[in-house]
């Protein structure tokens, strides 16, 4: 059976590590959007919260409601856009929504007033990402209009770092956000919880911690900062098994398109997992899996529901476990290694693992 194993102790350890980098007054926002980066929203969200996250962040109202149904009682921020049809659920489930458009806040206030409730919002500010957010010079005017509406409470304001490794650009983004905070003071506005730093920015730019930090990929054991390699623990392992073993003669080809030709007699194992199950097709003829604690090269094109690997010289049989992400024996393959081979980032490798694969949660 193909399966995903999640080590919840690793998630707990990662969250606590980042908590140790923060002042006691700085809140930690645990980002569990995209099915907790492929790890499973409800189970992982609950552990991130109980491990010390003060707030959880998701992308959609659907994700937020899933956490509430799972009895996760932490404050929740929706980072993505919302539609009018979502307003009632935001109010009913006590969810904070990110806003970067006055019109949507105006409509939300009308609904919250009609229900005699208070909507909670977090104001998104554009500082250099050029994605969502009010331009810095527009913030004061829009906040003043929001404050005049009634039945809307500003819980926080935030932005997002475009390139944590670029110190100069990041400093400029920090300055933009600080200028907005200063303009709040000049206008006698209360400054809400401000959050900007994400995983790599947390350690590289302590001056960007403000009132809270947004911890995403670091929860799951990854980050671009080299110092993380010694302390973070990847939590997810992706496993399959050998469904068939066969010999291939010299000169025969393997798989669709006949992209691999056997240079000699070789033994291959077939695994019942493919790109439908989140294995990137771009790993064809260059990725590895672990079988019997040894690396087996992927040969031929990865199929929709299967793949072939070279097990020549490896003692193995039908039913033996194959590790695509994780540790086996004295070797390991993590998502960042796969990402480098395929020209992407660990985030994508993890998020592409589909929900139909069963998750097993363990405290190892």
CA angle 24/28/31 to nearest 5° reads 175
Structure tokens, 308 = 């072939």
- Marked catalytic residue, from 106, 135, 250, 256: 256
Structure tokens, 189 = 């506005």
Measured CA to CA, the distance from residue 133 to residue 154 in angstroms comes to: 15
Measured CA to CA, the distance from residue 7 to residue 362 in angstroms comes to: 5
Number of residues that this document lists for the chain: 364
Residue 155 phi/psi, 5-degree rounding, is -85, -30
260 is catalytic: no
Measured CA to CA, the distance from residue 297 to residue 314 in angstroms comes to: 11
Measured CA to CA, the distance from residue 360 to residue 128 in angstroms comes to: 40
List beta partners, residue 288: 297
CA atoms within 13 A on the CB side of 36: 25
Structure tokens, 130 = 């050029």
CA atoms within 13 A on the CB side of 254: 30
Measured CA to CA, the distance from residue 364 to residue 362 in angstroms comes to: 6
256 is catalytic: yes
Measured CA to CA, the distance from residue 318 to residue 291 in angstroms comes to: 11
Measured CA to CA, the distance from residue 231 to residue 264 in angstroms comes to: 43
Measured CA to CA, the distance from residue 162 to residue 184 in angstroms comes to: 24
- Marked catalytic residue, from 33, 120, 124, 239: 33
Yes or no: say if 55 and 212 are a contact pair by the CB < 8 Å rule: yes
> Where in the sequence numbering do the catalytic residues fall?
33, 256
């Amino acid at each position: 059976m193909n399966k995903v194993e999640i080590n919840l102790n690793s998630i707990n350890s990662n969250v606590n590590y980042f908590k140790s980098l923060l002042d006691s007054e700085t809140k930690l926002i645990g980002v569990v959007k995209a099915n907790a980066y492929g790890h499973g929203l409800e189970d992982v969200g609950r552990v991130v919260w109980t491990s010390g996250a003060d707030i959880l962040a998701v992308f959609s109202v659907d994700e937020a409601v899933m956490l509430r149904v799972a009895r996760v009682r932490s404050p929740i921020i929706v980072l993505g856009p919302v539609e009018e049809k979502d307003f009632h659920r935001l109010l009913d489930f006590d969810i904070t929504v990110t806003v970067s458009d006055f019109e949507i806040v105006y409509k939300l206030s009308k609904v919250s007033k009609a229900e005699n409730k208070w909507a909670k919002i977090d104001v998104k500010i554009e500082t250099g990402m050029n994605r969502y957010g009010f331009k810095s010079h527009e913030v004061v005017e829009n906040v003043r209009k929001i404050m005049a509406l009634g039945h809307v409470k500003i819980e926080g304001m935030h932005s997002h770092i475009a390139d944590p490794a670029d110190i100069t650009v990041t400093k400029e983004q920090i300055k933009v956000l600080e200028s907005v905070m200063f303009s709040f003071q000049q206008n006698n506005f209360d400054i809400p919880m401000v959050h900007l730093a994400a995983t790599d920015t947390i350690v590289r730019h302590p001056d960007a911690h403000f009132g809270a930090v947004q911890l995403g990929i670091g929860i799951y054991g990854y980050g671009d900062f080299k110092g993380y390699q010694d302390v973070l623990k990847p939590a997810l392992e992706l496993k399959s098994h050998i469904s068939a073993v066969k010999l291939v003669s010299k000169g025969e080809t393997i798989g669709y398109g006949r992209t691999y030709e056997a240079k000699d007699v070789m033994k291959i194992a077939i695994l019942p997992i493919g790109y439908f199950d989140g294995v990137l097709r771009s790993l064809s003829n260059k990725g590895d899996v672990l079988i019997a604690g040894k690396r087996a090269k992927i040969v031929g094109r990865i199929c929709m529901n299967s793949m072939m690997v070279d097990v020549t010289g490896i003692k193995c049989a039908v039913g033996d476990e194959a590790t695509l992400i994780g540790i086996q024996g004295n070797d390991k393959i993590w998502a960042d290694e796969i990402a480098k081979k395929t020209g992407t980032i660990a985030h994508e490798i993890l998020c592409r693992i589909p929900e139909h694969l069963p998750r097993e949660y363990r405290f190892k």
